[in-house]
Structure 1
């Protein structure tokens, strides 16, 4: 099982807290993440298997997109900040489009992320 975890700057703390709340589900999941987000997750949870890609605006979003196209991901958790200007809005739209085309479960909020992780991972491990 492989999940991509991505968060905009204003939502990185929220994603780290979501991982904390769901780490028992994620203990057996391979995680790929864009640069800074992956660094924050790795620092907070060194036992999780996290592969850091490039920073989102520097190509990390495209790397996630390529993983979607190669059908390497089981879910995309992307905490987007809808209240800030998005200089990388095209990247967000591209990931949304690819997740839709490849029928990949995608969450942009804690509620939907909780549904995805519990649905795909079943019972949390101890």
Structure 2
């Protein structure tokens, strides 16, 4: 069965030969073709791909309207199952320029929210896009691509583990299930209560009692998200696993957006996973690669 992904990129990411969209295609085109991924691609992004020739002759590149004509809105609608039974998307890749005003338009926010709500990947960075094609390949039982090996060299990376209140128990369960994998990271960081609960879990598994498994920063409302955003910007944190609750308003929404924006600024060196379903799939695939 073919995978179906919505695809869009802000102008920054397709306005030059070395832009992120083309870097992704140079790294991942073979995997896209191998998996026969259908890419439902918004107007200008589709134009840029066609001009590049990087997917020349590929039937899975499917044009959607320009953003101003509702292209992004159509991507949002296709994340969910249509009343006519049209298969939904398996996720969305939206390479975001954090200073482009369109990145905070309602349709952009809705695309992310619906992906999280339905447990599908919302990928907004170059590193995340390269990584996810490889995750899909390995999940299909294909042999890992050796050219991506350094991306999964976890012992040189830091991962942030963060969860909103309603999802803290799911974060602890995720970390417990994938404890060996997460322990391979050079460092784990987190915010407030989530870090305390993760450390309790790790100590129950035999992690040395005098050593925190997760380095705790402040709680999110008190600035923890901003502290981790600084780590990302300084390239001292490469992965953010942030279980977001899409159904409640957060008093510190600006801090959450700051962290997400930091990941998108360092687009080729950081990625973010925002739901438990996606995180489990990522962890299972990466475990097979190592």
**Could you tell me the TM-score, scaled by structure 2's length?**
0.40
Shift of residue 111, structure 1, vs aligned partner: 3.0
Aligned residue among 236, 239, 249 for 1:75: 239
Shift of residue 11, structure 1, vs aligned partner: 0.6
Structure with the greater relative contact order (CA < 8 A, sep ≥ 6): 1 or 2? 1
Q: Secondary structure at the match of 1:42?
A: helix
Residue in 2 aligned with 1:88? Answer: 252
Residue 45 in 1 paired to residue 202 in 2? yes
The answer to whether the 8 Å contact 1:65/1:98 transfers is yes
Structure 1 pair 54–98 and aligned structure 2 pair: CA distance change class (3 A) = same
Unaligned ranges ≥5, structure 1: none
Residue in 1 aligned with 2:183? Answer: 27
The answer to whether the 8 Å contact 2:263/2:272 transfers is yes
The answer to whether the 8 Å contact 1:25/1:121 transfers is no
Shift of residue 121, structure 1, vs aligned partner: 8.8
The answer to whether the 8 Å contact 1:3/1:76 transfers is yes
Structure 1 pair 120–72 and aligned structure 2 pair: CA distance change class (3 A) = farther
Q: Secondary structure at the match of 1:45?
A: helix
State how many pairs are aligned.
123
Structure 1 pair 25–51 and aligned structure 2 pair: CA distance change class (3 A) = same
RMSD across aligned positions (CA): 1.8
Unaligned ranges ≥5, structure 2: 1-156
Higher Rg: 2
**Could you tell me the TM-score, scaled by structure 1's length?**
0.88
Residue in 2 aligned with 1:11? Answer: 167
The answer to whether the 8 Å contact 2:223/2:255 transfers is no
